[in-house]
Homo-oligomer: A and B are copies of this chain.
Amino acid sequence: MIVGVPTREQDLAELLERKGVLERKGVRATPRRLEVLEELARESDDVTAQQLWGRLRERDSGAGLATVYRTLALLSEKGVVDVLSHHGGEQCYRLCGDAHHHHLLCEKCHRVVEVQECGLDEWVAAAAKQHGFVATEHRVEIVGLCADCR
């Protein structure tokens, strides 16, 4: 698929939305970056940089691996994607919402779901205080079985 030449109204809307995502963060909305965003949007779970690159190639994108890494680093820096390191060594990327959130991981099918309601700030602050720390951020990962894999 050629980015920039949407064939349906919905595609056009999605394209504009993705452009907006980038521009709001002060990042140029280049064709390559839009391709990466589009591919991320297509995947509801998380993907590695290499997987993403492979999928882009299947779609006849000429994107280079380095560009995929650069783009993912940029997007994560801007808070557009989450980076998960639950696979040993290899990092996984996932399009995510702006707000603070955590993740549920299915240990069988590797589905990833965002948990929007955090509500742990108090607990975190208390646990930190108990050891003389002041908490600035926290990460929570819940691993389990999703509805389909139970």
Answer yes or no: A2 CB below 8 A from chain B CBs.
no
Answer yes or no: A28 CB below 8 A from chain B CBs.
no
CA distance A131 to B130 in the complex (A): 32
Cβ of A134 and Cβ of B123 under 8 Å apart? no
What copy number does this chain have within its complex?
2
CA distance A145 to B85 in the complex (A): 23
Closest to A102 in B: B127
Residue numbers in B under 8 Å from A146 (CB-CB): 131-133
Answer yes or no: A117 CB below 8 A from chain B CBs.
yes
Closest to A135 in B: B144
CA distance A7 to B37 in the complex (A): 62
Answer yes or no: A26 CB below 8 A from chain B CBs.
no
Sample (24) of A-B pairs whose CB atoms are under 8 Å apart: A85-B85, A88-B91, A89-B91, A104-B127, A104-B131, A104-B133, A104-B135, A113-B131, A115-B127, A117-B130, A128-B144, A131-B146, A132-B146, A132-B147, A133-B145, A134-B144, A134-B145, A136-B143, A136-B145, A137-B143, A138-B140, A139-B139, A139-B141, A139-B143
